[in-house]
Amino acid sequence: MDQLVQKALAARKNSYSPYSKFAVGAALECGDGTVITGTNVENASYGLSICAERSALVKAISEGKRKFKRLAIVTDSPEPAAPCGMCRQMLIEFAPSLEVILANLKGKSEVLRLSDLLPKAFRLG
């Protein structure tokens, strides 16, 4: 198993998902090789919840990271799950050609480019 996927799998264990019961782990590989992990954190006011992908991205940005190579996402869904639209939009701001590895607990995985997941993305400049 890819080391980035293993880190996302480990991050998934920290999920706070009492409402959806849908735990997600993410691991974001930065341009310098650093890996920042994130997990989903839900809230009783559902709109205040944050996805694992954005959790990792915001942590990385707060540490001064701005370049990203790969993102691994691990879920317990029958098929590997892709990031939501909000996560795609936030990620594309920094890394349109980001490699995205989707994986599940059953060992299925798929590798895509973020630009394929969000064609014709909204961008300024």
Distance CA 14, CA 75 (A): 13
Q: Is residue 124 assigned to a domain?
A: no
Which CATH number do you get for residue 70?
Answer: 3.40.140.10
- Is there a domain that residue 125 lies in? no
Q: Which pLDDT score is estimated for 125?
A: 67
Q: Which residues are catalytic?
A: 53
Regarding pTM above 0.85, the answer is: yes
CA dist., res. 24 & res. 8, Å (int): 8
Specify if 123 maps to a domain. Answer: no
Q: For residue 122, is it within any domain?
A: no
The answer to whether the CB of 15 falls within 8 A of the CB of 52 is: yes
Instruction: Give the domain extent around 32.
Output: 3-117
Band the pLDDT of 1: cuts 50, 70, 90.
Answer: low
Report if residue 7 sits inside a domain: yes
For residue 33, the model assigns a pLDDT of 98
Instruction: Give percent of the chain with pLDDT exceeding 90.
Output: 97
pLDDT tens readout for residues 64-94: 999 999 999 999 999 999 999 999 999 999 9
Share of the chain above pLDDT 70, in %: 98
Residue 105 lies in a domain: yes
Question: Which tens digits make up the pLDDT trace of 8-17?
Answer: 999 999 999 9
Report the domain count for the chain: 1
